[in-house]
Structure 1
Amino acid sequence: MELSKKHFMLISFFIILSSLGIEATKEPPRTGKHFVLIHGSCLGAWSWYKLVTLLKSSGHNVTALDLAASGINPLQANDLQSSFDYFKPLRDFMEALPSHERVILVGHSLGGLAWNIFQDLTLATLLLRPLRLFSDEDLSKQLMLSFENYESVKRVYIISEKDKVARRDLQLWMIERNPPNDVVEIKGSDHMVMMSKPIELWAHLQGIAEKYSYPIF
């Protein structure tokens, strides 16, 4: 899945996903940054509800969408033939962006099944949906990243200290194998950082957005 040359920065909790985006909300643009929130597996746009409120209250534009067969998206897991179908809402959004617009992508997990780790367990049990598992071969085929575009993206990894899905040693291994521009850690957070430590995440995202903002030529 190759993207056109948009100006964006990526913040990823657990997996670097520089080729993903999501469907725009119906709100008018705001004067702040444009944060695009990408939910993890089995989840949906609903999982960001705490962070969306905090970011919007700070004057930012926020987009959170359901991937295919996730959240309230009408497709079912069995309807997806490959990861290409799963990521279609992301791809459509990114391709529709004006050439001058920059967005900050915030990706969560996209790989870990999130049972028994929610602070908002009642909400999660009502809204979780099954995820079709895709092979490594399929993912490698669909998520092709060019060196030119990938290296042009500023990437920040947020370590979740108390994560029991992507444990700390795994997170450090991923960071070592694919070094980002910066690494920050949220103390006491679990896999669902946006629910367990929303205020801390909100503060970090604003700081990161300011640090890595740059003019468009």
Structure 2
Amino acid sequence: MGALFSCFSSAAPAKTKRRRLSISSSPPPPPGMAIPPFGLSRDRSGRKERGREGLTHEQEQALAAAAKTAASLLLRQNGGAEAVAEVLLDRSSSVRDPPPAGKKRQALPRSSSSRPRSLADPLVQVQQLVNQDVKIDDLETNHFVLVHGGGFGAWCWYKTIALLKDAGFKATAIDLTGSGTHAFDPNNVTSLSQYVMPLTSFLEKLSDGEKVILVGHDFGGTCISYAMEAFTSKVAKAVFVSAAMLTNGQSAADMFSQQARSNDLLQRAQIFLYANGNDNPPTAVDYDKSLLQDLFFNGSPAKDVVLASVSMRPVPFAPVLEKLSLSAKNHDSIRRYYIETTEDNALPLSLQQSMCSLNPPEWVFQLKGADHSPFLSKPQALHKYLVEIAKISS
């Protein structure tokens, strides 16, 4: 989404032919690569770790057999070796930022520890990775409303929806106007209120006293801020996932324009659309398909990159320029949380941290190794944090 905010000329459309920018990355593990059984990883010299000393040969064999059986079960249940590796070797999450001066925060659930998970840890399902002390029925709300970023759609949350529902939560993903499967030309969207209408219509229909947790990604952060101001009584918490978290009087373009000028990849990826002619301002922004992976999905599975390449749509440009009107009574009264992504090529970590410093949320979480689309690259770690946020009491 940051690709929307680099400088543009309204007199001439952007070039549509661009050479691909290559970014080196570690290749995925080869098919069938063995995952070390619990407690059996070895250092480069081939010696067993110290934790294994003293075990008999029979004990080693029994432990290895048990690990093999557990790994096979998880392979069948969770989609292959990649799922096993993510559960066993989860080092993707950490928590940043101490409590602000004079304000005491509730201790985080133990599942958010930044301690690297050991191979000796027991194999667990995703539901066991989160704090189980608080029951879902006792929460202020168990309903997440997921709002996509610019160019994305409700489709991008498919992993998050499945994980939340498996854990007993409700999850609703919204297609904003002209996005995803919403049947509207994004070039004809002329205001932020029109763009977020599917979200505000959904909130308006909630029954009295019913609340939700809004989750916004990318430009979706601007959209949930708009909804927080308009429907304060129906929003329990707001979560910004690598998102625009603005203050009163700011537009998304204001926040990102300075950063975008120094990011060559962002500038090269964007294609401005001029539905009203080249002599008028752009009506939407599209993306160079050859640069999608480097920009948004540099850590995501190849199959999800393919899904995105056929699903992403142009982003209406007018809403990006619109300044938000946010008040302390409404918007600022809602508890906010920010989830940073450390390997983000579209919205660099430095800019995410700058927004958090200028407009501090209640908590700042960090997904290590996540690209701009953590719902695809780190779905279980993102899920863990969403559940933890839901369980943080007043």
Range of TM-score over shorter length: 0.7 to 0.9
Q: Which residue of 2 aligns with 1:27?
A: none
SS at match of 1:47: helix
Task: Find the residue that maps to 1:146 and give its secondary structure.
Answer: coil
Residue identity (%): 39
Measured against aligned partners, the alpha-carbon deviations of 1:44-90 in whole angstroms (never above 9, x if no partner) come to: 00000001000000010111010000000000112212222111111
Equivalent residue number for residue 132 of structure 1: 316
Report the more deviating stretch, 52-61 or 77-86. Answer: 77-86
Query: Which amino acid in structure 1 is aligned with residue 338 of structure 2?
Result: Y
- Partner of 1:108 in structure 2? 217
Pick from 181, 196, 199: which aligns with 1:72?
181
Structure 1 unmatched runs, 5+: 1-29
Aligned residues: 181
Q: Show the counterpart of 2:366.
A: 185
Structure-2 separation of matches of 1:96 and 1:61: 16
SS across alignment from 1:59? coil
Q: Provide the aligned C-alpha RMSD in A.
A: 1.9
Hey, what's the Cα distance between the residues in 2 that align with 1:48 and 1:193? Answer: 10
CA distance in 2, matches of 1:94, 1:188: 33
Note the C-alpha offset of 1:115.
2.1
Displacement of 1:121 after TM fit?
1.1
AA in 1 matched with 2:292: W
2:391 aligned with 1:210: yes
Q: Which structure 2 residues correspond to residues 14-163 of structure 1 after superposition, within 5 A?
A: 33-110=142-219, 115-116=292-293, 117-118=296-297, 119=300, 120-134=304-318, 139-140=322-323, 143-163=324-344
Superposed CA deviations along residues 90-138 of structure 1, whole A, max 9, x for unmatched, are 11112221221111011000178792232221001110111121266x5
Tell me the SS of whatever aligns to 2:354: helix
- 1:143-185 alpha-carbon deviations (Å, 9 max, x no partner): 3222101222110000101111111111111011110001010
What is the aligned partner in structure 1 of residue 256 from structure 2? none
Q: Structure 1: how far apart are the matches of 2:198 and 2:325? A: 17
SS at match of 2:204: helix
Partner of 1:16: none
CA distance in 2 between partners of 1:151 and 1:174 (Å):
15
Unaligned segments of structure 2, at least 5 residues: 1-135, 220-251, 253-265, 267-286
Match among 163, 166, 169 for residue 347 of structure 2 = 166
Alignment TM-score, normalising by the size of structure 2: 0.44
